Amino acid sequence: MRILALANQKGGVGKTTTAVNLAGELVRRGQRVLLVDSDPQGNATTSLGISKRDLRATTYDLLMETADPASAILSSGRERLDLIAADEDLAGAAVELVGAERRERRLGGALLQISAAYDHVIIDCPPSLGLLTLNALSAAHSVLIPLQCEYLALEGLAQLKGTLERVRDGLNPSLRILGVVMTMYDGRTNLAQQVVEEVQRHFPRLICRTLIPRSVRISEAPSYGKLIAEYDPLGRSAQAYAALADEVLQREAL
């Protein structure tokens, strides 16, 4: 089982959109995938069309060790794609875990118990570098960083790289950056191209070939509880996430 965390402390960069649609594309390649919603906003949960009102067990319960991991798994309604959901209760975990033993390793311990059932686990991290994200990075084999094609996003990337180095030093020596994927790319603007070129200059081996385009359709899909491949299968965004899934599998094989 490969565990991939999608992390960036900056909000609005396409983490959830990428996590959900990458999970869907890996399923289309025959993988058994578990999507873990580790954001108290629960956007990955609602993006799959699952209501947060009737959840029995969530990521919060795994972190607090109050539920068996298997009991928290929900079917997404799609073959080979399951979910561990999140709701606003998860926001309290960061406070409640402050004095707890193994506080950064709770999620990894829970996922280890269900590792035989999946080929891939995709963790959608919150837009912060707190305990929720640290749990994801401690559990993960690798991290994929979605980066919006805007100039200020570059400052956050340097900060995130520093955090990942500290996680490697203290919690997870085997963690590696799988790649940086540029999101909300608009090839008609000079700024988008300049940001891509800047990331290529500073991180030539990390930047993914695949560029995720800015798209109204991909913004609409979650409101229908659909993946972009279900909502607009022939569109540019669906094709981009299909290409990203192929690239992720290639990078993991290296």
Q: What is the pLDDT along the chain (254 residues), one digit of tens a residue?
A: 999 999 998 888 999 999 999 999 999 999 999 999 999 999 999 999 999 988 989 999 999 999 999 999 999 999 999 999 999 999 998 889 888 888 999 999 999 999 999 999 999 999 988 899 999 999 999 999 999 988 877 777 888 888 899 999 999 999 999 999 999 999 888 889 888 998 888 888 999 999 999 999 999 999 999 999 999 999 999 999 999 999 999 999 98
What pTM value is reported for the model?
0.95
In the chain, what's the furthest Cα-to-Cα distance? 51
Distance CA 182, CA 215 (A): 14
We report the CATH number of the domain holding residue 97 as 3.40.50.300
What is the domain count for the chain? 1
Q: How many CB atoms lie within 10 A of CB 37?
A: 31
Distance CA 136, CA 7 (A): 9
Distance CA 76, CA 4 (A): 19
Write out the residue range of the structural domain in which residue 179 sits. Answer: 2-253
